[in-house]
Amino acid sequence: MSNENSRKKLCVSSLVLGVVGLVFSFLLPVVSYACAIPGLVLGIKGRKKNYRSSAGISLSIVALALALINSVLGIVMTIKMFFSGNNNED
């Protein structure tokens, strides 16, 4: 019974970390990475036909994907802004 209890805790932790990672994927991708990667690991570790673990894994994957897109777009916009500056040094 203790093993089942620990699996439930892992699944709930995965779900919570997935939700937090999803929320922060738009605001601070670094926080999203710090929440979604452990959430994905905990969800996989506690997986045993449990909807919470499936939801935690899914939310963590979506949070990672959105954070990655946000990071790439931020880098592209920064590079574009840096190289499209006006050269008014005269």
- At residue 68, the pLDDT reads 95
Domain that holds residue 49: 2-83
Token digits for 47? 């997986």
Residue 90 lies in a domain: no
Residue 47 lies in a domain: yes
Interval 38-63 mean pLDDT:
84
Residue 42 lies in a domain: yes
Interval 8-29 mean pLDDT:
88
Residue-wise over 40-61: b if at least 16 C-beta within 10 A, else e? bebbeebbeebebbebbbbbbb
Residue 49: pLDDT band (50, 70, 90) is: low
- At residue 50, the pLDDT reads 66
Residue 59 lies in a domain: yes
Residue 89 lies in a domain: no
The number of distinct structural domains making up the chain is 1
